[in-house]
Structure formats: C-alpha cells, structure tokens
Amino acid sequence: MFNSYGNIIRLTTFGESHGKAIGGVLDGFPSGVRIDMNYIASEMKKRRPGQSEITSQRDENDDVEFLSGIFEGKTTGCPIAFVVWNKGQKPEDYDDMKNVFRPSHADYTYQLKYGIRDYRGGGRASARETVARVVAGALCKLALRAIGINIRAYTSQVGPIKIGKKYHELDLEEADNNVIRCPDAEKAKEMIDFIKQVKDEGDSIGGVVSCVIKGCPIGLGEPVFCKLHAALGNAMLSINAAKGFEYGNGFEELELKGSEQNDMFYNQGGSITTKSNHSGGIQGGISNGQDIYFNVAFKAPASISKQQDSVDLSGQEKTIKIHGRHDPCILPRAAAVVESMAAITLLDFYLLDKTRQM
C-alpha cells in the first residue's frame, strides 16, 4: 500500500520534489526482457517539462540511472531500481510556502496528517513523482510490445474546447505533431491558443486525456474486486490532479438504453467479435479482445501566479502568490503518465492471468 502499485508487477516510488532524487523499484518484472535505453529516454522526453511554451519552463533533469535488475542488457527477474537525480531545483522559490498552505494543494492535509512536511515544491505530493512512473511504464511497454499490446494517450479536451470525435475517427499518431498532443490539428491549435491566454492571465486550465489500448488479449482482468477497468481507474486516479475516470462510453452516453448500448456478438470470418464497442473492450471486468478506451479528467493545476487567500500554520489569514515556473496546463505531460500507468496495469494483469489455469 502507500507508495506501491500493482500485484505481480509492483512499483514502489520514492522521493520528494526538492530532495536528492525521485526514483522507484519495479519488482516482479519478468526476466529476459531486452531493455532499450534509447526507448526509455524517448519516453521520458514525453513527460519532461521545458519543451514548449504551454508547459512549465523548468529544465528538469530526467536522465535515469538504473541501479539493479538489468544485466548485459536484459532484465534478470530481480528488482529494477532506478533514480532520477534532482538537479537545478530552486528550493528558495518555496520559502514563502513554508508556513502558508497553498489552496487546493496537499500542504494542509500533509501537515495535519503527518505533523511534518517537506514544503519545498510540494515535497512528496509534487507531480515530479510521476517521473518514476514513466520509467516503469517504459519498461512495461517494452514487455508489452513483444506480445502486441499498444497504448496511446492524447489530449481530447482543454477547458471548454473538446475534440468532438471518437478515437476511431482520429489518426492517433497525429498527437505527436503538436505540443498539446491532440490528434486533431485544428482543435490542437485552439487548445494551444487557449492555454497561452490562460497562462498570460497567470492562471491555469484542466481537461481530459483519452487513452486507447489495442491488441490486448482476451481474458485480462479478474472478477469482482480486481476488474481490469477498476484497476485502470485506480491507476489513473492516483495521478496528480486527476478528478475522474470513465471507460467505454462512461458518463457520456447514459441516455442509451440497453438495446442501444449492448455490444452484439457476431462471427467475423470464424472469430467471435462484437458489432459495437460501448463496453470499451471490457466485459465483467475482463478484456474481450476489443479496443480498450477510457478518459481521465484532470483539473486545472493548483499552482497559479494570481494572488490567492489562505491561512498559515497558526491559522492566521494570509494572501499568497505562488512563484516558480508552473504548468498552466498539465495535459500534454499527463498523457505520458496515463500511458505509463496503463502499461504497468496491463503487464501486471497479463502476468496475473497466467496463474488462472494449471
């Protein structure tokens, strides 16, 4: 519990935003998987700040140092520990917040829960923690690739601007062609302009990351308390600023009746498939071989440069302006984390499924 995720595959992350390092231990990873360090670096880049004008300008180091579990280029089945060293942090940016609680951050709840908190940059509650998830996610993607599972996340909503198309109406590869990671070029431009405007106001904005998993074999997921979609929901809701999760047609098409919503089976040239996929590739908590797709809502980042009302440790009312180089919109970087958490979950359930028959 606490800082670990997964059943067979188990990722434990550690580290604070302005401590020595962020890192993780990925235990239970299968042996014999070849690790491509260039691939990992390319995955890290997707999450890295400082890449465009719509994300934080911080130039965070995201180089990964592996400490164990890989030998002569392959995984050994032993825990894979890794560290991303914190460099160029500016703790002095956070002196103001030593005593004052930033609204809608975790400052207040950490202080009251633990009686102590590392206030520098949000400490453990900082989204920098997700760097460890992307390392683990990249490792899992390498394993999943070998069995044909492909995961792709993209931005489908920024504030009031919605993409307005379903995933199968889009060429998801297009998401790589713009900084907001939206596979519709026109909507992408609107979103980017909107974020720039919000940023200029010293404000922030949220939205939706959508994710599609193709090639998932039938049978992943366990009934009742280990349903695949519940695990995915848990994984996504563990990402900083996540406020909601839905899969298949989720909240969106609740006006559909059973007869409109049910995915009828048919025989497509010898193999059983469904005419529609409102189920989002999961029935009874178990993958059915169709595409898995889901949405994750992310709120506007709590760090804004506008003046806000707050209180300090003693309960005294204060105003606060948050300095530093913050993300006006977390979505383009969150997409990488969504993919990573999906990859860890899928590999975990793939391995778990191996145990269900002798």
Rounded to an integer, what distance in angstroms lies between the CA atom of residue 34 and that of residue 176? Answer: 25
Residue 92 within binding range of its own copies, rule CB under 8 A: no
Residue 28 within binding range of its own copies, rule CB under 8 A: yes
- Cβ distance 23 to 83 under 8 Å? yes
> Which residues does residue 318 pair with via DSSP β-bridges, in sequence order?
310
- Cβ distance 344 to 133 under 8 Å? yes
Q: Select from 48-56, 173-181, 182-190, 246-254 the region that touches its own copies (CB under 8 A).
A: 246-254
Nearest to 133 by CA among 2, 1, 238: 238
Out of 35, 54, 81, 136, the only residue in the binding site for its own copies (CB under 8 A) is 81
Rounded to an integer, what distance in angstroms lies between the CA atom of residue 287 and that of residue 63? Answer: 35
Q: Which of residues 112-151 bind its own copies (CB under 8 A)?
A: 112-118, 123-125, 129, 143, 146-147
Out of 97, 149, 188, 302, the only residue in the binding site for its own copies (CB under 8 A) is 302
Residue 78 within binding range of its own copies, rule CB under 8 A: yes
Residue 188 within binding range of its own copies, rule CB under 8 A: no
Closest to its own copies by CB, 38 vs 259, is: 259
153 Cβ neighbours under 8 A, 6+ residues apart: 181, 209, 210, 211, 212, 335, 336, 338, 339, 342
Residue 88 within binding range of its own copies, rule CB under 8 A: no
DSSP state of 284: T
Minimum distance from residue 1 beta carbon to its own copies (Å): 5
Minimum distance from residue 172 beta carbon to its own copies (Å): 21
Minimum distance from residue 150 beta carbon to its own copies (Å): 16
Out of 93, 174, 214, 230, the only residue in the binding site for its own copies (CB under 8 A) is 230
User: Cα dist. 183→137, 166, 213, 338 in Å?
Assistant: 22, 11, 16, 16
Minimum distance from residue 355 beta carbon to its own copies (Å): 4
Residue 166 within binding range of its own copies, rule CB under 8 A: no
The binding track of 249-288 with respect to its own copies, each residue x by CB under 8 A or -, is xxx--xxxxxxxxxxxxxx--xxx-xx--xxx--xxxxxx
Q: Quote the tokens at residue 12.
A: 């434990």
CA 179 to chain centre: 17
Q: Which of residues 46-65 bind its own copies (CB under 8 A)?
A: 65
Angle of CA points 213, 214, 218, to nearest 5°: 100
DSSP of 168-208, one letter per residue? GGS-GGGGGGSTT--SSHHHHHHHHHHHHHHHHTT----EE
Minimum distance from residue 292 beta carbon to its own copies (Å): 12
Out of 121, 137, 183, 301, the only residue in the binding site for its own copies (CB under 8 A) is 301
Closest to its own copies by CB, 114 vs 173, is: 114
Minimum distance from residue 40 beta carbon to its own copies (Å): 16
